[in-house]
Structure 1
Amino acid sequence: MPSAIRITPTLLLALASTTALADGDLMTRSTLTGDWGGLRHQLEEDGVRFTGDYSGETAYNAHGGLHRSARYSQNLKLGVQFDLSKLYGLDNGGKVQLTINDRRGNSASEDLVGNRLPIQENFGGLYTRLTELSYERTLFTPALNVKLGYMAMGNDLGGLDSGILCNFMNAGFCGHPLNMSGGSGWTNYPNAHLGVRVKYDLSPSWQLRVAAFNVDPDSNGNSSRAWHLGPKHTTGTVVPVELVYKLQGELPGEYKLGYYYDSSDVKRIGSDEEVSGRGGHYLLVDQAVWNDQGSPGRSLHAFGQYSASSKAASPFTKWYGAGVVLYKPFASRPKDTVALGYGRAVPNPRSRDVLEDAAFNAGQQFPDIDSAEQLIELSYGYQATPWLNLRPDVQYIIEPGAFSGKDIDNALVVGLQVKATF
């Protein structure tokens, strides 16, 4: 790819130094590049909003796994949103979103540990691609919002709107339960497909979300499809339905109950026969359990995740996750967080049977391993400036070889996540 598109920590530092010369409030402004001499604010007033962010994740395997070493991965996202009401003076003209994404780096999970849950949530699809070209507006009533175009399902469904789960670096927590995309046509960012999403506010607290997306496995992670909006080979349609409840008050909460169905015909695990359709369901919770009355903004939230997918066709049938996040751990650090989470990923017994049969046919002994990969993660989010977050991170991975059928020692991984908003 052109070197001008790539961004590294060195380039990030150079960009910060350059903008600091033009604007003296580097440590206090909301974005790294500032207001561009007032141009950025004026463009937004006129209906054009530019966004951009960078994340870099370094992980070092200190014990267990496969090898002692470190791996780095990065994600760069650039976007522009056009508010058609402001641009053309329309009444409820809607918004157009264009987003481009670039990923580079190496995987600590693949190279160093051998586990299934990606240690770096920003690893995967290492090329430049179009990740969204969509149109969104309210329709008939302010309670009904429709979005259609080329986009990732996971941007609007399957995750917690509060963003609590991205206080972690492992993809098992950050984003969405991975068995949803591992065993169906569900796609999470940056994989995008053609689709439509509808949100309807049933009341101030209740919302219904329904969507339909094209299923095109051949385009996922395929660099030759990076700029193709249309599918290469459609296998079906995936339809998620999600009910959202948001609790208001002193201890707010968010609850999501979802179901999805993929109409694709796929091979049954361990058999040459096909199964027609596959689906799953999930429950996601984010609930404040404590607020410090003497220090506004200081609170403790508990979260929970449960997701189950098709036993016939999904290699990853269940995910359980739970944890806590403390916001404003110190009075002098109002934007910092401390997060502790536990997750358990359960392989499909059919997949294990396939691995055991393959070992038997090869005359090899199958290792005596547990039935699930487990994850314990502790992180501290240090908000160095309004636009820069540094997150030291520790992950302990139990039974890394649960999905591969390999006897791999439990791994201790230490890491650092860097996030910057342009």
Structure 2
Amino acid sequence: MFFSFRALTTSLCSGLSFCMLAPAPALADSTNLMSRSTLTGDWGGERQKLLDKGIKLTGEYSSETISNLHGGIKRGTRYAQQIRIGAQFDLSKLLDTPDAGVVQIIINDRRGHSATEDLLGNRLSAQENYGGEYTRLTEFSYQRNLFSKDLSAKVGYMVMGTEFGGMPILTNFVSAGFCAHPLTMSSGSGWGNYPTAHWGGELRYDVNPSLTLQTAVFQVNPEHNARPSEAFSMPSNDTTGAILPLEAIFNNHAFLDGQYKVGWYYDTSNYQKIGSTEKSSNRTGAYVLFDQAIWKDEQDPESVLRLFGQAATSNAATSPMRRWYSVGLVKQKPFANRPKDTIAFGYGRAVINSRTRDEQEAAAINFGESDMIASLDNGEQMLELNYGAQVTPWLLVRPDMQYYIEPGAFFGKKRGNALAVGLQIKATF
């Protein structure tokens, strides 16, 4: 079979078995399984009691099973999963002190195998939840308002990509090419995306309902932050520099609403230039993101068609991925009786740095290989189409199809265009 039944069964059973971690009162929850907001319910009222005291406990599971049907390296199926457990402490309630702030703790665990590495041989990961396959501390932070509710600060050990450079609409996709940040950021600087955390601080100012400005400073520590042996030690040694992002967020509150983000970042780290023995004294990049409703049913505002786009550029001297572009559509509430479902389609193109291509050609072992590399496209293209079925408030099932054009472009390899199908499952506990 093209699509592994064993992998799919593992995907379902692994997620459902996580409910065993819930407190015993969950087994006695009288609410309807299909209508409750989480799989484990209210734990016989204990969950709400904790929330009233200022303690919010969360649990999430996701899996992505991808089968390569054609092209790439070889046919086959790969499964990857993620489990995230979080606790949020509202200090205003716990300490009975106004505006005392919030402490957030997140532990993340990833397991599985990569369809991109094993089957497709491309650059844009087909599974957004693959990478760093071990248990780690992903966030230990403190957040509170400063002087007014319009100005807030957050400090601690956390993921900078949680607040910067992404858009919620892009979580409707399975491939990391879309969900949820342009990959030029992490490819060409010390930018860190989930679940890799760094020490840092963020500052956010809501200028007015239509404009928000935010900035931050994060430690760049690529060696220690990726070590499984230091997954809970929150390392700060051997820092190579700091990365400072700046972002402006524009919110369109019209009937056809939208959000636009413009960002720039500066990494102070010295980094080897591609094709040179010299080092660059810094790394920079910029991006523009937008999510705009282009059609909405006046009688049913939940039925909306949204257009999104991304354009990002990174440092020419150091980044193997020079630019990233994407555009796509997301239809929310595609059918009257499916209010929380979505249909998503996206097209993306990642452009390789010409210096990287020159290095590939120079490393060729003969003229034939050099000519082959020179004939490759200067980037990888991808298309994704999926249907997100919100089966219950706590369970999402997303059948998915992905197509990759020139999947070997970033590696100087001639590989056939790849067609993959998959299934994403998300459950909230």
Q: Structure 2-normalised TM-score?
A: 0.94
Q: Distance in 2 between matches of 1:357 and 1:421?
A: 50
Paired residue secondary structure (1:202): strand
Equivalence for 2:159: 152
1:322 aligns with 2:316: no
Equivalence for 1:276: 281
Q: Distance in 2 between matches of 1:342 and 1:55?
A: 23
**1:233 Cα offset (Å):** 1.3
Select 1:194's aligned residue among 175, 188, 199.
Answer: 199
Equivalence for 2:230: 225
Q: Which amino acid aligns with 1:252?
A: D
Q: Distance in 1 between matches of 2:17 and 2:96?
A: 39
Q: Distance in 2 between matches of 1:219 and 1:384?
A: 40
Select 1:177's aligned residue among 167, 174, 182.
Answer: 182
Give CA-to-partner distance per residue, 1:194-237, whole Å, 9 cap, x none: 00011001111101010000000102432112012132310000
Select 1:13's aligned residue among 16, 19, 22.
Answer: 16
Give CA-to-partner distance per residue, 1:67-94, whole Å, 9 cap, x none: 1100000010000000000001011100
1:331 aligns with 2:336: yes
Checking the alignment, whether the CA contact within 8 Å between 1:366 and 1:405 is kept in structure 2 is no
Select 2:50's aligned residue among 35, 43, 58.
Answer: 43
Equivalence for 1:61: 68
**1:22 Cα offset (Å):** 3.9
Q: Which amino acid aligns with 1:97?
A: Q
1:290 aligns with 2:288: no
**1:384 Cα offset (Å):** 0.3
Checking the alignment, whether the CA contact within 8 Å between 1:201 and 1:208 is kept in structure 2 is yes
Number of aligned pairs?
Answer: 414
Change (3 A) 1:361 1:236: farther
Checking the alignment, whether the CA contact within 8 Å between 2:38 and 2:394 is kept in structure 1 is yes
Equivalence for 1:240: 245
**1:26 Cα offset (Å):** 0.7
Q: Distance in 2 between matches of 1:248 and 1:155?
A: 23
Q: Which amino acid aligns with 2:139?
A: E
Matches within 5 A, 1:363-402: 364-367=369-372, 368-402=375-409
**1:365 Cα offset (Å):** 3.8
Checking the alignment, whether the CA contact within 8 Å between 1:124 and 1:221 is kept in structure 2 is no
Checking the alignment, whether the CA contact within 8 Å between 1:217 and 1:233 is kept in structure 2 is no
Matches within 5 A, 1:72-111: 72-111=79-118
Paired residue secondary structure (2:409): coil
Equivalence for 1:407: 414
Please, which runs of 5 or more residues in structure 2 have no aligned partner? 1-9
Q: Which amino acid aligns with 1:196?
A: G
Paired residue secondary structure (1:290): strand
**1:31 Cα offset (Å):** 0.5
Please, which runs of 5 or more residues in structure 1 have no aligned partner? 1-6
**1:360 Cα offset (Å):** 4.4
Change (3 A) 1:389 1:93: same
Q: Distance in 2 between matches of 1:237 and 1:373?
A: 30
Checking the alignment, whether the CA contact within 8 Å between 1:390 and 1:418 is kept in structure 2 is yes
Q: Distance in 2 between matches of 1:377 and 1:224?
A: 36
**1:14 Cα offset (Å):** 4.3
**1:16 Cα offset (Å):** 5.7
Q: Distance in 1 between matches of 2:308 and 2:110?
A: 29
Checking the alignment, whether the CA contact within 8 Å between 1:261 and 1:277 is kept in structure 2 is yes
Checking the alignment, whether the CA contact within 8 Å between 1:257 and 1:283 is kept in structure 2 is yes
Q: Distance in 1 between matches of 2:51 and 2:94?
A: 10
Q: Distance in 1 between matches of 2:188 and 2:261?
A: 20
**1:13 Cα offset (Å):** 3.1
1:261 aligns with 2:262: no
Q: Structure 1-normalised TM-score?
A: 0.95
Change (3 A) 1:342 1:407: same
Q: Distance in 2 between matches of 1:169 and 1:312?
A: 30
Q: Distance in 2 between matches of 1:96 and 1:105?
A: 30
Q: Between the two proteins, what is the percent identity of the paired residues?
A: 53
Select 1:134's aligned residue among 141, 147, 155.
Answer: 141
Equivalence for 1:3: none
Checking the alignment, whether the CA contact within 8 Å between 1:177 and 1:307 is kept in structure 2 is yes
Q: Distance in 2 between matches of 1:299 and 1:16?
A: 34
Q: Distance in 1 between matches of 2:11 and 2:124?
A: 25
Equivalence for 2:308: 303
Checking the alignment, whether the CA contact within 8 Å between 1:116 and 1:403 is kept in structure 2 is yes
Q: Which amino acid aligns with 1:235?
A: T
Checking the alignment, whether the CA contact within 8 Å between 1:325 and 1:337 is kept in structure 2 is yes
Give the root-mean-square deviation of aligned CA atoms: 1.5
Give CA-to-partner distance per residue, 1:270-318, whole Å, 9 cap, x none: 0111110010000000000110112230000000100000000001110
Q: Distance in 2 between matches of 1:139 and 1:200?
A: 10
Checking the alignment, whether the CA contact within 8 Å between 2:266 and 2:283 is kept in structure 1 is yes
Select 2:38's aligned residue among 23, 28, 31.
Answer: 31
Q: Which amino acid aligns with 1:93?
A: A
